Amino acid sequence: MNIINKVFSHQSLIDKPPILIDLGASGEIHKKWKVIAKHSICVAFDADTRDFKPIITEGDGWKKLYSLNRLVLAKEDKMSDFYLTKSPHCSSALQPDNEALKPWIFSYLFKVERSIQLPSLSLSTSLSEIGIDYIDWYKTDTQGTDLRIFDSLPDEIKNKVIVAEFEPGIIDAYLGEDKLNELMIYMDKKPFWVTNMFIKGSQRMEQSDYESLNYFQKRWISLFLRTAPGWCEISYLNKMANDNTMRLRDYLLAWVFATIEGEHGFALSISKRGYHYFSDDLFLILERESRKRLSYGYHKIVFSALKRIFRKN
């Protein structure tokens, strides 16, 4: 039996399956979730339906999937502004900062085509409506409101999240947006550690100057014009240090999620602590698996080094 399937055959995870939250889910569902989808309940939200299909289904690769056309904000209101931009992936409850975006090539993506008003709900209320009161993997890309929505969750929910992924801005793209530095200061006081940061961006060039280029200059501009940092995809793992609140199923999930993230050293530590606290022999199997995966990495490095040596000779 595949080791992931073996973990999910544990009664604690059958009784309480993983809850995966995707806020700002335009496009495809998170690729990392494919390996655990059939064992998991996914709840995806987006207020812009141009690249998002609202659906509630069982099967289709999921234990259950809720794709909800809903505006999720930190504070609830009968009607809240929502700005539909040229790119559905840039639509936001915050107004784009047109003046600050002006010097960037991708500024046209943020052009507001129309603004609408929608009722807004908090994440806690939205989950409560479908009978969910916990989160295991939290992924958000809400275009400027990632931190405030996470902060609005009760401590008993957010402090037990095992993986938290955010996409905060570095440059000014929206008026009053949550920035990377604010998120990192906030999360530094929470029971999480940074497992990955991927800086993304655009070219610093005004749209009018970009339009003056010829076809080939536009087509290959990324090759000769440096991409400046604009936003960040940042992932956190729970330290699993609060052993009064974390249960056996949480340790099993933490091992699975750390393994998916390639954090085999941390997964090894989780398996050892899990066995220490709960004396479940499954953690011994997971410990051996983590040691194997660490060995695979070592063998790959040695093999690559030997190949380079033989090529030189």
135 pLDDT more than 60 = yes
Tokens of 158: 């957010």
Contact 144/178 with Cβ under 8 angstroms?
yes
313 pLDDT more than 70 = no
| Paired residues of 115 in beta bridges | 83
Please tell me the chain's helix, strand, coil percentages from 3-state DSSP, rounded to the nearest 5.
40, 25, 30
Contact 13/39 with Cβ under 8 angstroms?
yes
- Which pLDDT does position 66 carry in this prediction? 92
304 pLDDT more than 70 = no
Q: Is the pTM of this model over 0.85?
A: yes
Q: How confident is the model at residue 245 (pLDDT cuts 50, 70, 90)?
A: confident
Residue percentage of the chain with pLDDT more than 90: 72
- Which pLDDT does position 29 carry in this prediction? 78
Tokens of 145: 């409101």
> Cα 264 vs. chain centroid, distance in angstroms?
19
Q: What does each C-alpha distance from 159 to 62, 241, 264, 299 come to in angstroms? A: 26, 11, 22, 37
248 pLDDT more than 90 = yes
pLDDT in tens, 168-210: 999 999 999 999 999 999 999 999 999 999 999 998 988 888 8
4: left (phi over 0), alpha (psi -120 to 50) or beta: alpha
> Cα 302 vs. chain centroid, distance in angstroms?
33
268 pLDDT more than 90 = yes
Strands (E), the chain: 19-23, 41-46, 55-59, 62-69, 71-72, 77-85, 112-121, 137-140, 163-166, 192-203, 227-238
